[in-house]
Structure formats: C-alpha cells, structure tokens
Structure 1
C-alpha cells in the first residue's frame, strides 16, 4: 500500500543524499493530516456561519464550565488577544445572540461575557460536526492502533512542551 508521500520520498531520496526518508515521511504525513483537518474544520465552520476566531471564543467560554461566564480580560488572556481585539471579536457574537455582555452584580462597572443558550447550541453543533469528521478519519484504525497513535503523538507533544518551544494556540482546550 503506497500513498503520495511514498512517491514524494522516493523522488527526494534520489535528489538529496542526506534526506532521512522515514523522518520526511512522518512530517509529510503529519502535514497532510494537519492540512486536511484544518480545511475540514474551516468548511464545517463556514457551513455553520462561524469563523474559527469566533468558534475559539465559544470554545473557551464552554470550557470554563457552568455558568460559562468570565471577565473580558480573562477571556482575552485565554484566547491570546488584547482587550481591544477581543472586544471587536465579541461584537458580532453578541449581535448573533451567541454571547452576552452583562454588568457584574457586585460592581456594575465590571462586565462579564457569558455564553448564551444559542451560543451553547452553536458550539455543540460545530463540535458534533467536527467529531463526525474525526471519527470518519480514524475509522481506518482499530482501537489498539488508535491507542498506539495517541501514545506516540503524546511523546512528541511532551518533547515539544518540555523544550518550551513556541507552539501556536490551536484552540484546543
């Protein structure tokens, strides 16, 4: 069984004597899977009428647990934005009824951002669609293979995280 990566590695192994074909195959396959997943996520979000940056805010609010509310400054920190940039991203979500900004009960000068029932539903719909696609992709692996793959990828992530290398926020909780 061969794939496009096998053909790519065969070409570049001839051209580059120093190329490690196994390493090249691993990183090309990771790149293809990453590209596939990112495009599928974008398509699913587009179908649901959300941009990735909007979904990321819903994701962070949902991940806080009940009552799915926090201060704008804390939310800005969670999504890696300035307070001004966050405010601009919250406006369309508020207009769509997916979040609401409410004054604090103790201090009316404070504002809280809360996931609404519609926002919760939009998050569930998007997450469910992603789950369906991810299950379809992994369906070619049996349970043991999935576990092995998860364990091997964990080792790589731990290596990256322990070296304190910069890793872009993927929006994953």
Structure 2
C-alpha cells in the first residue's frame, strides 16, 4: 500500500493494523475514507481559526457569504435569506440583529411598502467577508502546496466524479 521510498503516514499505520484484524476490509477504501476524514477535520480547523482571528462566528459568516453569493447589489428579502440558510424567519431575524449591530448588513424598507424589508451587505460586511475568504484561501493553498498543478486537477476531477455519484438521483 505504501509507495516505494515513502515513509508512509498515520493512515498507512492505521490500515496495516486493521488489515490484520479485519480480513474482509478493503485497505484502499479504508485509506481513502480515513484520509478524507483527516483532511475534512484539517479544513474545518483552518476555517475556524480564520473565523476566530476575524472575531466572526460561523453563522455570521454564512449570512455574509449568502448575501455575497447573490451578486450585486448583494441584497435580498429576509424570507429568501432564511431559505438559503435553512432557517426559520424567526431564527434568521434574531441572527440578523447581531450582524446588523456589527455594521455588516443593513435592513431597509422598500420604497412605497414599509412591510417589505431588504437585507443588504454593507461596505464593512464586504471587507469582513473578503478578509475571511482570503485567510481561508491562504490556509487551503498551504495544504494543496504538496501537490503539483496537474495533481490538483486530477484530484479535483476524481472528487467531482464521487460527488456526482452521490448527487445523482
């Protein structure tokens, strides 16, 4: 399983132990899923560290992310935002108050109909989003630095194939 001239990693040691204990276990499958789990934990930790350094909570970042992803003018109705975040309108309203207080969004009323509210990303919200996204990008690039550009493309293509297989009906 370990390539020639390779010292191996913690997964190779894990697989070696379990291959002896579980004769039916597919060692290649085990290595793939164990490595994916390690990388997912690492990516999550990198994201949390970036958020902590920004003083931003994950749910606050998600609000900024969803508004930014809409494109200019980076605004929507609270009901659409709640749907995008998988929240009830009540849960969203409580969250928006804190994000608005931080100056990252504003809630405005539509002209002519005070009942219709719009949620819009502010310049400060743009800046905070950009800062966090850049920190996250840097952390991910550090991890991918172990791969050549061709290896990155191959990995992306193989992962797409797996994702398509679980997203297909």
User: Which TM-score applies when normalising by structure 2?
Assistant: 0.95
Q: Using the alignment, how far apart are the partners of 1:5 and 1:20 within structure 2? A: 13
Aligned residues: 163
1:56 to 58, 62, 66: 62
Show the counterpart of 2:166: 160
1:97-135 Cα deviation digits (max 9, x unpaired)? 001111112411110000000000000000000011111
CA RMSD of aligned residues (A): 0.7
1:149 to 151, 155, 167: 155
2:101 to 90, 95, 110: 95
1:111 to 117, 128, 141: 117
Structure 1 unaligned runs (5+)?
164-173
1:61-91 Cα deviation digits (max 9, x unpaired)? 0000111000000000111111111111111
Deviation of the 1:30 alpha carbon: 0.3
Structure 2 unaligned runs (5+)?
1-5
Show the counterpart of 2:38: 32
Show the counterpart of 2:140: 134
Show the counterpart of 2:3: none
